Structure 1
């Protein structure tokens, strides 16, 4: 039995109790499903009137079962279902938070506070792609601290500081990962902490014109954090972005190259961290683009020091695929099944040994006549023609999807060679549209025949102009996925040229 996490999002108008919803979802899953695919959005529960009136979405999130490396699904009898029922906050995501007043009586906005789970961050966790199961490792670390805290382990014997440090190049998703982890914890720990708050510290604001008071501002800020933590029903995540701004190495201060106030800030921060580590309901996460500038005492307090590198080609593929799938779902790209990474890699490995599409089509009629279709002599030719046409279309569709996967793999490798960050990858579709596609093609070109040469033998995906999903404003999408791939290829090429100019 392996734990499988099921996340159930409840609507704001729901009246049923959470434990009732949890029991009904468990009953539905165990009685209606034979296997659970991970990750996936579940359906079919809408037939239950209580669930239909209370739930917005059910997602089978993840599991640490080793068999998932071979198959994307698990038999239901091998699943220890962990059902997390949550209701996202409908309020604004952030509120500015003051840590006191400076010497001139002006308030210093040193942090922002967010109530979690937030509807604005739905899907953020799944959109982040990292190698080596970094996300699950961080979740497992949090669970370990919870287990040790519940067991009342003696801190004098076994100690941990509840501090995580993520470092690496800019744009690799460090801050987004911290926010996504806070959102995930607000869902996973909702049964024991009804409330979760994320406090993001604005490191730069603490070094303002009241520079001499920065140490005091840090103390005031963490005094407010301690007040939040005093509420034992609230889990508090403290995010210190660009932590090197607060923890500039004390060696420089001792050598006289750094102001003494920087030394006071570091000491104040370390003192506050030592106080927080004894509280069960707090986690401190920090990010840095300049790991060498971080004070060694802060680094020593981090339970996990995780390097977040530029995404490898496999992660780049998944990021680009998620972008294309989103454009398809929103009607900007015409409907097509973009292969998963596993499917694309399998297609690449077997492409040399597979017979060409033309050979398959040439053998189609003889295969059909040999018994795949039952027919009488008078209608044989008609039925064979109909079946042949359908199978040809299906083969052409699959061949086109496979080619899209291969092109996306090659694009992913080019992006990795260019050293593109996750942030750069996610703006590729916008730049591709702005530079090489244009408004006139993206939404207002309803005639698919203008781009038929991008399909396989002139065949395009979808179910015809009348049945396709309309984009915003009612205009039909008019862009094939091949056009987007061409445009993104050009953006990547241009990125390399411009970066070379910049570096020279």
Structure 2
């Protein structure tokens, strides 16, 4: 029998300058992980001792929680510098029959890894394994393309479709995947670009111009893709707006829409020939997407509303952040996986770790059906509407959180029925 294969643990090091002592950093990491400190998933070391002048932070992936020894774990290092420049807007010109020009903000363009997306991957909470599985797919697809696997034998278009209800974080997840790739693939690509297509802007008010704008934009993208040291991630949010089902088109007005769909499909077929491009798409309305586009997508992943587990962890991350900035007093509260070790308590009045955790769990259960976007707002509303002191104890904040949730559910119901609540429609 062969030796047991070592588990991989990715170590991402955000450096402050280009010339750093890599061996010194690796030695620090090895001493730290073998010191007996129990690390959680995606653990971060901010401004590590002795490295403050050259390292902003060090981050471990999910496997760090299984770390036992250096013999059983292979530490895979990724050194990168965060790009401080934000998005640049790509402007395209369109002209009407009177030869006057209009400018169209066709896309946003980032150089990654970007400060805009630092911490985004960690803030997105889904069922265990969802983010990691998407990342594994992307890494495999890029590996196949770089190794020139024959696409006639194994098909891989490097197109992902994330679909589901609004507010579930599909667009943010696409951006987080691109950011993570820019770090993990830095040995393969010198530059990583994220181009977010502004789908709605591509529909021209002038007849037949939209299809031309699509071709013009993809021509710009191809200029970047043709640089072999560049990895290019193209994000098409609400893809149904430019890949509308042609079978549903009727009447005279949608001729331009047909041109757009045909142009998009043609451009995707052309650009996928390059081994360094990835297409990330999202949709809230998959029933309206053209079947030819859906057929081109390698994987279609449904992103649903958060489960109880995810809701609990979303609220918990908000609580930890408010503790970090000293709005909530530091107090221990359990992660979701630890709750199985305890029996539920219905009447919770004390403030022990277990009882506070059970209170948060009940709030999470009452939040089922809310989107991640809404869940992130509830802690803010709890503090702004119901908390009077600058620094509060966790139990009081949980009481405010529960009341804020109840108010939100009541207001949402009233809004859907057109009823007045507290004098407001």
Both proteins in one fold, TM over 0.5: yes
| Corresponding residue for residue 80 of structure 1 | 74
| Corresponding residue for residue 115 of structure 1 | 111
- In the alignment, which of 366, 374, 377 is matched to residue 414 of structure 1? 366
1:210 aligned onto 2:123? no
Q: Report the secondary structure of 2:61's partner residue.
A: strand
1:28 aligned onto 2:28? yes
The residue correspondences of 1:46-65 to structure 2 (distance < 5 A) are: 46-47=49-50, 51-63=51-63
Whole-Å Cα distance in 2 between the matches of residues 241 and 83 of structure 1? 32
Whole-Å Cα distance in 2 between the matches of residues 345 and 322 of structure 1? 19
Kindly provide the CA deviation profile for residues 193-229 of structure 1, in whole angstroms up to 9, marking residues without a partner as x. Answer: 1211111111111114235210000000000000010
Q: Report the secondary structure of 2:101's partner residue.
A: coil
Q: Report the secondary structure of 2:370's partner residue.
A: coil
Unaligned runs of 5+ in 2: 1-5, 418-425
| Corresponding residue for residue 296 of structure 2 | 301
Higher helix share: 1
Sort the Cα spacing of 1:423 and 1:151 in 2 relative to 1 into closer, same or farther, 3 A.
same
The residue correspondences of 1:313-324 to structure 2 (distance < 5 A) are: 313-324=308-319
Q: How many residues align?
A: 404
Larger-gyration structure (1/2): 1
Q: CA RMSD in A?
A: 2.2
Kindly provide the CA deviation profile for residues 63-109 of structure 1, in whole angstroms up to 9, marking residues without a partner as x. Answer: 3xxxx8xx654433211111010100111x21111133232301111
Whole-Å Cα distance in 2 between the matches of residues 177 and 45 of structure 1? 28
Aligned 8 A contact 1:160 1:277 in 2: no
1:335 aligned onto 2:285? no
Q: TM-score when scaled to structure 1?
A: 0.76
Whole-Å Cα distance in 2 between the matches of residues 316 and 295 of structure 1? 33
Whole-Å Cα distance in 1 between the matches of residues 389 and 117 of structure 2? 27
Whole-Å Cα distance in 1 between the matches of residues 234 and 70 of structure 2? 37
The residue correspondences of 1:365-444 to structure 2 (distance < 5 A) are: 400-416=352-368, 419-437=369-387, 441-443=388-390
Q: TM-score when scaled to structure 2?
A: 0.90
Aligned 8 A contact 2:47 2:57 in 1: no
| Corresponding residue for residue 91 of structure 2 | 98
1:496 aligned onto 2:409? yes
Aligned 8 A contact 1:4 1:79 in 2: yes
Aligned 8 A contact 1:200 1:239 in 2: yes
Kindly provide the CA deviation profile for residues 337-356 of structure 1, in whole angstroms up to 9, marking residues without a partner as x. Answer: 2221122332346x79xxxx
The residue correspondences of 1:447-458 to structure 2 (distance < 5 A) are: none
Aligned 8 A contact 2:84 2:115 in 1: yes
Q: Report the secondary structure of 1:76's partner residue.
A: coil
Q: Report the secondary structure of 1:287's partner residue.
A: strand
